[in-house]
A = this chain, B = another copy of it.
Amino acid sequence: MPRKHQKRWDDRDPDLRDLLRLPVGERPDLDAHRADARPAGPDDKDAARTATAELGERLAGLQERLWAAGTAGDRRRVLLVLQGMDTSGKGGTVKHVIGHLDPAGCRVRAFKAPTEEERRHDFLWRVRRVLPRQGEIGIFDRSYYEDVLVARVRGLAPPREIESRYGWINDFEHEVTDAGTTVVKCFLHLSYGEQKRRLLARLDNPDKHWKFGPGDIEDRELWPDFQEAYEIAMERCSTPAAPWYRVPADQKWYRNWAISRLLLEHLEELDPRYPKADFDVAECRERLLRAP
């Protein structure tokens, strides 16, 4: 009988990780890449939806195994980090990709501007408290990278402090990967033009106004600074243990497919297994049947 969790896609398909992973130690040139590229996978919306739903089922199966293994002491877990400019689809990814998983095994956390209490601690303090536990899939909608992105662009901390943070992030990520966490960092690459369309669409729909703030326009006016901050972060914090993936995000359906597939490839490599019974199955069975 074939193992249910074995790699099911055609092995001639390229590994999407290899296509989207940013090289370690190089500064990426975001302008040189298209945000509507499709380096592999479905070519249109309908095909992508079908493929993403199918990936979702396989992800759910692997998630259950990961969770089950965790109950028996397997320390492994996954942390999906989502970063990108406003409207790049971090929330949409949570809804449409993570929405396929069992909510019991997911730990979703959106990082806003730090509270007063959080500001009294180092920038990783609030992150450590919400890391996924063994067996879980944690999802960060924004993350500690904000502390070298918006913090850099808007000067929210002294330059020397920000310079130090890249190294602290690398240390931190080594620490969590050593503890059994597979860190999947996705930069949702949105184009300047597509962001304009999406922001206008929010303004044009009163039911979307709550998602909008004038700060979104201010950030947009600083677009080149943000792109540079992203490039620097990805240059300094793409490590073999925790690389960055650049996910083309101008097409929502492609973004959902690509992140589903990236997650799947990581989970298939983890290959979590249902744990063996640590009790006497036959004896339990008999005891159950013996009772009235």
Interface residues of A (CB under 8 A from B): 68, 71-72, 91, 94-95, 98-99, 101-104, 106, 108, 110, 139, 141, 196, 199-200, 203-204, 206-207, 209-214, 217, 220-221, 274-277, 279, 281, 284-285, 287-289, 291
Contacts and interface: CB of A to CB of B under 8 A. Distances in A.
29 contacts: A68-B207, A68-B210, A72-B210, A94-B102, A94-B104, A95-B102, A95-B103, A99-B103, A103-B106, A104-B108, A104-B141, A196-B288, A196-B291, A199-B288, A200-B288, A200-B289, A203-B288, A206-B274, A207-B274, A209-B274, A209-B276, A209-B277, A212-B277, A212-B279, A214-B279, A217-B288, A220-B288, A220-B291, A221-B291
Contacts of A108: 103-104, 106
A210 B275 contact: yes
A66 to B, nearest CB: 11
A206 B4 CA distance: 14
A99 B103 CA distance: 6
Contacts of A200: 285, 288-289
* Copy count, this protein chain: 2
A217 B284 contact: yes
A275 B192 CA distance: 28
A95 B104 contact: yes
Contact of A217 (B68, B214, B287): B287
Q: Which of A110, A141, A210, A212 has the most CB of B within 10 A?
A: A210
B281 A203 contact: yes
Nearest to A211: B68
A102 B141 CA distance: 13
Contacts of A139: 103
B104 A103 contact: no
Contacts of A209: 274-277, 281
A281 B214 CA distance: 9
Nearest to A200: B288
A211 to B, nearest CB: 8
